[in-house]
Amino acid sequence: MRFAFGILLSAMVLSLTTGCGSSGGTTAAGPAPAPGKGDNKDGTPTPTPTAGPLKLEGTYVLISMEVDGETIPEAVKSSEADRTTKFTADKMISNARGKETALTYKLDATKSPAHIDIIMTEGKKDHTLLGIVKLEGDTLTICNGRERPTAFKTKGNQAVMSTMKKK
């Protein structure tokens, strides 16, 4: 149980706290429609969607974790309550073994894929994990490590990827 908690906390922090595979997500608007495509019936052009902020607010449950290309099944064997993370505008609060751990995060949705910096405070020293993040529907994926990954993959880059489902 202690091993699973350690892996879960490490992954949440490292992935939150995101192998991540593809770099798609809701981090930016899609390409503008080709001329003549997407026009309204009255002949006026359909407005091109604009990129909005990436909003992570909500409660998520960890559904999978990957380290160095390998899935870590122990990370999702604990109770749902111990795999839950709540995101506010700038904080993520993880639950494990009945104890809450709060971390600060910063998003940069102007990057593709979006960047996330997770700041852990231990005593007087801060540690920052660098990551990328994508939100597809109600599925949040964070891939992070000491160096920012460039893709959603963990093999060979010392990153942790966590996938969570919104409650």
115: in domain: yes
Q: Token pair for residue 66? A: 């990957």
Number of domains in the chain: 1
Average of per-residue pLDDT across 22-29: 35
66: in domain: yes
DSSP code string of 59-117: EEEEEEEEETTEE-GGGGSS-GGGGEEEE-SSEEEEEETTEEEEEEEEEETTSSSEEEE
**33 has pLDDT over 80:** no
pTM of the model: 0.70
39: in domain: no
Average of per-residue pLDDT across 106-132: 90
User: Residue 43's pLDDT band (boundaries 50, 70, 90)?
Assistant: low
Residue 24: predicted pLDDT = 36
Please give the residue that has the higher pLDDT: either 103 or 1: 103
Share of the chain above pLDDT 70, in %: 66
- Residue 129: CATH number of its domain: 2.40.128
87: in domain: yes
Question: Is the CB of residue 26 less than 8 Å from the CB of residue 136?
Answer: yes
- 48-77 pLDDT, tens digit each: 333 456 899 999 999 999 999 999 999 898
114: in domain: yes
Positive/negative CA dihedral, 15, 81, 97, 101: positive
12: in domain: yes
117: in domain: yes
98: in domain: yes
Average of per-residue pLDDT across 144-165: 93
Q: At which residue do the structure tokens 């604009």 appear?
A: 50
Average of per-residue pLDDT across 102-109: 94
